[in-house]
Amino acid sequence: MSLETPLHRVQGLGSAHAGVRHFWRERVTAVALIPLSAWFVVSVLLFVGKTEAEIAGFFQHPWNGLLMGLFVLVSCVHMMLGLQVVIDDYVHHPGQRIVLLLVTRAYTWLVGGLCLVALLRLAVV
């Protein structure tokens, strides 16, 4: 016996696997952030005592610029997904939830945009 509704059976679409998209994206970005965030912390630790020119020079190196850009981008995606879960869990008023989710997205794009513009400026100087 099938538990499908007649409408579902006649449409014949099956699962779109869209329900697990958020879950998967959170995990994949988490795995990517293991090496990226470790690289980030070690790099920043090595900035201690360095001059402004030396630190700017670090980000001008193509590999460092790429890794920093990836760290920022993947962090922003992971951050947006994670903050969404927190808001979905604790904010029950639909209007407040939508406003907070939009603020979260605006904040994420702002942070990501600022970091990438700064990295590009460092790269082309």
Partner 1 sequence: MADNPQSPSVRNRPLSPHLGIYKWPITMVTSITHRATGVAISAGMILLAWGLIALASGPEMYQPFVASIVNPIGLVVLFGFLWSLVYHFLNGIRHLAWDLGYGFAVPTANRTAVLVIALSALISVGVFGYGWWILHGGLHA
Q: How many CB atoms lie within 10 A of CB 22?
A: 13
The pair of three-digit structure tokens given for residue 90, joined into one six-digit string: 């604790």
- Which amino acid, residue 35? P
Instruction: For partner 1, give the closer residue by CB, 12 or 49.
Output: 49
CB of 61 to partner 1, least distance (A): 14
- Tell me the C-alpha distance between 108 and 114, whole Å: 10
CB of 56 to partner 1, least distance (A): 6
List Cβ neighbours of 56 (8 Å cut-off, separation of 6 or more). 122, 125
Restricting to residues 35-94, which ones interact with partner 1 according to CB under 8 A?
A: 37-38, 41, 45, 48-49, 52, 55-56, 59, 72, 75-76, 79, 82-83, 86
- Which amino acid, residue 32? A
Tokens 């409408």 — which residue? 7
**Residues forming the site for partner 1 (CB under 8 A):** 27, 30-31, 33-34, 37-38, 41, 45, 48-49, 52, 55-56, 59, 72, 75-76, 79, 82-83, 86, 107, 110-111, 114-115, 117-119, 121-122, 125
